[in-house]
């Protein structure tokens, strides 16, 4: 079984209220339903649109929550190199299991919140293989063209999962 089959994708998560003015989240629910202890890793605000982040994997589970805007995550099992792309819109939670390479792009001013089941240590971030980075980059570019470009044409497009 591919470790990608263990990726958890939750939409409209932790929302307590939403209307035309705002979305209100319950922070205590961001990790709801996940077993074990979780540690704050970071909160990122994207300053440069479409800049690729990550390009790594690690030996622990990572959780991302998107409170606003939209992010694209390309992931691949390191043993299979078959990518999947996930669009994470506001209110989405993604749980990425260990040893899954991932690459992420976001829009300007998008916010991404992250936790791990171990304390954060940058030494545990393992760069993905060059060939795999190229595959993930290609999938993200196709997804960006299809989902974020108003003038996107037809074509096969990325392997989007939800």
Q: Do the domain assignments include residue 162?
A: no
- Strand (E) or helix (H) holding 134: helix 130-148
Q: Do the domain assignments include residue 101?
A: yes
Distance CA 41, CA 74 (A): 20
Is the CB of residue 149 less than 8 Å from the CB of residue 157? no
Q: Do the domain assignments include residue 95?
A: yes
CATH of the domain at 27: 2.60.120.10
Number of domains in the chain: 1
Q: Among residues 104, 157, 162, which one has the least CA distance to residue 133?
A: 104
DSSP state at residue 78 = T
Confidence category of residue 2, pLDDT binned at 50, 70, 90? confident
Q: Do the domain assignments include residue 155?
A: no
Q: Do the domain assignments include residue 61?
A: yes
Residues 6+ apart with CB under 8 A from 91: 11, 12, 13, 14, 15, 23, 25, 66, 67
Mean pLDDT (the chain) is: 90
Q: Do the domain assignments include residue 156?
A: no
pTM exceeds 0.85 for this model: yes
Q: Do the domain assignments include residue 159?
A: no
Which pLDDT tens digit goes with each residue over 29-65? 999 999 999 999 999 999 998 889 999 999 999 999 9
Which pLDDT tens digit goes with each residue over 98-108? 999 999 999 99
Residue 144: domain span: 3-149
Confidence category of residue 82, pLDDT binned at 50, 70, 90? confident
Q: Do the domain assignments include residue 107?
A: yes
């Amino acid at each position: 079984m591919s470790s990608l089959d263990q990726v958890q994708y939750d939409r409209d998560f932790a929302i307590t209220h939403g209307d035309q003015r705002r979305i209100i989240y319950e922070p205590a629910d961001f990790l709801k339903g996940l077993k074990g202890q979780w540690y704050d890793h970071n909160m990122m605000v994207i300053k440069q649109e479409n800049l690729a982040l990550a390009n790594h994997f690690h030996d622990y589970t990572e959780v991302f929550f998107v409170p606003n805007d939209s992010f694209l995550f390309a992931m691949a099992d390191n043993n299979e190199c078959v990518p999947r792309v996930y669009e994470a819109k506001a209110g989405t939670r993604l749980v990425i299991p260990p040893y899954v390479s991932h690459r992420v792009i976001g829009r300007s001013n998008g916010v991404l919140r992250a936790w791990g089941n171990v304390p954060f240590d940058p030494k545990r971030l393992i760069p993905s293989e060059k060939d795999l980075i190229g595959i993930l980059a290609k999938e993200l570019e196709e997804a960006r063209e299809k989902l974020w470009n108003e003038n996107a044409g037809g074509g096969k497009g990325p392997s989007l999962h939800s």
